[in-house]
Each structure stands twice: as C-alpha cells, then as structure tokens.
Amino acid sequence: MSHLISARLISVLLLASSLLIAPLAVAEEVIVYSARIEQLIKPMFDAFTHETGIKVKYTTDNEGALLARLQAEGKNTPADMLITVDAGNLWAAAQSGLLKPVRSELLENNIPPHLRDPDHEWFGLSVRARTIIYNTKKVNPSELSTYEDLADPKWHKRLCLRSSKKVYNQSLVAMMLAEHGAADTEKVVKGWVANLATPPLPDDTKALEYVAAGKCDVTVVNTYYFGRLMHKDPDLPLAVFWPNQQSTGVHVNVSGAGITRYGRNQKNAVKLLEFLSSSKAQNLFADLNMEYPANPAIKPDTFVAGWGTFKQNPLNLSKAGELQTTAVKLMDRVGYQ
Ligand code: FE
C-alpha cells in the first residue's frame, strides 16, 4: 500500500515538475524593438527560429519613439535587442546607457571594426553607401572625384542635396569633421550650399528624381534609393559614381543592433545578434533593402553588385555619433537648411 502511494506521489511530483519546466521551455524567446520595418526583419527572425527553436517577438516603430520607450521603461523594459538605422542613432542609444557591451569572437570576426562600436555596444549588420549619383546626359564621370569637390564653383547651380534635417547628411558631415577638422569642413559645406540648383529636398528619392529630370546634375544619396528607382524605371539617365577612392573612401553607414542593458533574455539575444552577422542571415539582411552585407565575406545581391565595387571609408562610425551635434551646428551656420 505505502508502495502504491509513494508510486502515485512520485508520478504526481513528476507531473508537477514537468509543468514547472514546461513554461520555462516555452519561454525561450527574444524580444526586439526594431526601427527596421517588419518586411526587412521577419525573414531573418523566421530563419533564426527555424534553426534554434528560439521565438522572436518584435515591435516596430521609428527610432525616436523606440529610444524614448526604452528610456521610459528603464529596468522594466521587455526588450532584449534594439535594431535601428544609422550609426548616429546606435551611438545615441549607447550614450544614453540603453545598451550593454557584448564580447563575442564571432561578431568581431564577422563585422569589420569600423562598422561596430569600439565599446562593443552596437554592431552594424548592413552597410548603406552614401554616394554620388549623376545625370548621364549632363555629366561626364571624369568631372567627378570627391564629395569635397562638389563644393567647387564648376558645380554652380548643378547640385541637389537632401535636407540637413535628416541624419544621413549629418553623419556625412560629421565624418568629414573627423577627417578634415572644422575649418575645412565648413568651407566644403558652404561651397555645396553655394552650388545648390534648388533648395534642399525632403528625401533621397526626390533628389534622384530632380537629377533624372535635369533640374540638377548631381546629388548624394544612399544607393538603395537609387536601386529602388532604377528598378521601377531602368531607363532613367542616372548612374553611380564612387567618390574619394584615392582618399578617404565612400561614406558608409549601417543599420545595426545592440543588446539592451536590462533585457531578460540576454543569452538568446546574443545568439540572435551572432546569427544576424552570419552568412545565413547577412544576405537576407542586406538584399531585402538593396544594401551591402556588413560581413565582407558575403557578396551583395547581383543587381547591387552591378553598380561596381568601392573602397569604404574605414573611419569608425562612432565618429558620426560623437560629432553629430557639431555637424548640425555647422550646417546651420552656413545656411544649409
Ligand atoms: Fe533610408
């Protein structure tokens, strides 16, 4: 009898313990806040879940809202990972104490040093090249050389630029500040403003459309906007020029990620971050938006590869964050709206 009871007791205990373990096993997950839209992240998350069994839950919003939310939630945040665009935003998140350093040999091997935080708090996952696009009927590419040269009077009333309010050109100017110092950078940006054919435009696509329509001859945009436009209309008289190939290299930026300081699933979040840097995810991460893989071992999509290869600026992208405020003030000072 006591034998029977103890057997039943054991089975009850086993059942109870399996019930205790079961919810823990189901809770293998990572929670992501992403400024990259769903269609650009879900395929990689699905691949990660397929490989590891770890679920990925995510919320998408613009970067400002996500940073504010992480800040307001503090230690109670449900988020384990932040994905956002532009090194300036990643730098700001790290600067606000929202991220936690990650030491991972895999990440350090997969992502080149200039595309990740020297303090290991964020890692670039795709590269966006901000380059010169010109009207093929109005510009001979031999006229082109550098971003700085677009300040030369020979480009008078031939240049279109996106508004200085967007972080993209702020980052470009911040990197120039790191390379040339304030006085020389100011001369260049002043020259750009003097060469504008139209007031600064609201977005990169508009700038490309203006160049295609002959309202100006050259502009500076992220290549994926060029890719989207050419995909729609391959006959547009537009072509890519890779500037600064004899000097500093093409200005690049990243979309990337960091692990939140107070997330509860940090081990899984690191696994996801490592996965995103691996060959399995890198093509998905870059190709879906016509960007370049951050991992140099991975080739870009063939359409993107058709624009040619180029030397990237090897200066660490944290400079774009550090000097962003100085860049904004400089742009303001010279009347770049
Ligand atoms: Fe963009």
The pLDDT, as a whole number, for residue 160 is 98
List, in sequence order, every residue forming a beta bridge with 162; answer none if it has no partner: 201
Per-residue model confidence (pLDDT) at position 53: 97
**Cα-to-centroid distance, 334 and ligand 1 (Å):** 25
Is residue 5 domain-resident?
A: no
In angstroms, what is the span from residue 151 Cα to ligand 1's centroid? 24
In angstroms, rounded to a whole number, what is the distance separating the alpha carbons of residues 313 and 247? 9
Centre of ligand 1 from the C-alpha of residue 297, in Å: 24
Residues 279, 237 within the same domain? no
Compute the chain's Rg from CA coordinates.
24
> Same domain for 245 and 264?
no
Kindly give the distance from the C-alpha atom of residue 261 to the centroid of ligand 1, in angstroms, as a whole number: 27
Query: Is residue 7 a part of any domain in this protein?
Result: no
User: What percentage of the chain exceeds 90 in pLDDT?
Assistant: 91
- Over range 108-135, report the average pLDDT: 98
Checking if the pLDDT of 7 tops 90, the result is: no
In the prediction, which pLDDT does 23 show? Answer: 46
Asked if 60 and 113 sit in the same domain, the reply is yes
pTM for this predicted structure:
0.89
pLDDT at residue 15, as a whole number: 47
Write the pLDDT tens digit of every residue in 205-255. Answer: 999 999 999 999 999 999 999 999 999 999 999 999 999 999 999 999 999
Q: What is the mean pLDDT of the chain?
A: 93
Residue 25 pLDDT > 60: no
* Model pLDDT, residue 13: 47
Is the same domain home to 58 and 89?
yes
Q: Is the pLDDT of residue 5 over 80?
A: no
Q: Across-strand partners of 201?
A: 162
Same domain, 227 and 326: yes
CA of 235 from ligand 1 middle (Å) equals: 23
Alpha helices by DSSP H, listed for 96-201, are: 105-110, 167-180, 182-195
79 C-alpha to ligand 1 centroid (Å)? 24
Report CA(85)–ligand 1 centroid distance (Å).
Answer: 8
pLDDT at residue 285, as a whole number: 87
Flag whether 4 is in a domain.
no
Residues 281 and 260 placed together within one structural domain of the fold? yes
Strand partners, 116: 123
Domain-embedded: residue 153: yes
Q: Give the distance (Å) from ligand 1 centre to CA of residue 129.
A: 11
Residue 26: its pLDDT value, please?
54
Give the list of residues 6+ apart from residue 315 with CB closer than 8 angstroms, or none: 114, 175, 178, 179, 248
Residues facing residue 128 across a β-bridge: 253
Packing angle between helix 38-52 and helix 266-277, nearest 10 degrees?
110
* Distance in Å, CA 289 to ligand 1 centroid: 9
Q: What's the average model confidence in pLDDT over 52-56?
A: 98
Query: Per the domain annotation, does 110 fall within a domain?
Result: yes
| Lowest-confidence segment of 26-30, 31-35, 118-122, 248-252 by average pLDDT | 26-30
- What pLDDT score was predicted for residue 133? 98
Length of the chain: 337
pLDDT at residue 14 is higher than 70 = no
Q: How confident is the model at residue 6 (pLDDT cuts 50, 70, 90)?
A: low
Tell me how many domains the chain contains.
2
Query: What does DSSP assign to residue 105?
Result: H
Burial class of residue 61 (count of CB atoms within 10 Å of its CB; 0-12, 13-18, 19+)? middle
Q: Is the pLDDT of residue 187 over 60?
A: yes
Together in a domain, 241 and 261? no
pLDDT digits (tens, 9 = 90+) for 56-80: 999 999 999 999 999 999 999 999 9
Q: Looking at the structure, do residues 141 and 123 belong to the same domain, yes or no?
A: no
pLDDT at 324 over 90: yes
Q: Where are the beta strands (DSSP E) in 44-171?
A: 55-60, 81-85, 99-100, 123-135, 159-160
In the reported structure, the alpha carbon of residue 125 is separated from the centroid of ligand 1 by a whole-number distance in angstroms of 15
- pLDDT for the residue 8: 52
Contacts of residue 289, defined as CB under 8 A and 6 or more positions apart, other chains included, come to 40, 126, 224, 255
What is the span of the domain harbouring residue 182? 129-251+317-333
- CATH number reported for the structural domain that contains residue 286 in this entry: 3.40.190.10
Which residue's structure tokens are 């079961």? 22
H-helix or E-strand spanning residue 50: helix 38-52
Confidence of residue 274 (pLDDT cuts 50, 70, 90): very high
Examine residue 144 and state whether it is found in any structural domain, yes or no.
yes
In a domain, 21, yes or no: no
- Asked if pLDDT for residue 92 goes beyond 70, the answer is yes
Q: 90 alpha carbon to ligand 1 midpoint, in Å?
A: 15
CA of 17 to the centre of ligand 1 (A): 50
Shared domain check, 321 and 278? no
Position 105 scores a pLDDT of 98
Let me know whether 38 and 121 are in one domain: yes
Q: Which helix (H) or strand (E) holds 252?
A: strand 251-260
178 and 323, same structural domain? yes
Tokens of 152: 């030369």
Query: What's the CA-to-centroid distance between 242 and ligand 1, angstroms?
Result: 19
CB-based contacts of 227, cutoff 8 Å, min separation 6: 290, 303, 304, 307
Residue 306: inside a domain, yes or no? Answer: no
| pLDDT at position 55 over 70 | yes
Q: How far is the CA of 64 from the centre of ligand 1 (A)?
A: 15
* Distance in Å, CA 337 to ligand 1 centroid: 19
Give the Cα separation of 307 and 170 in Å (integer): 25
* Amino acid making up residue 84: T
In a shared domain, residues 205 and 323 = yes
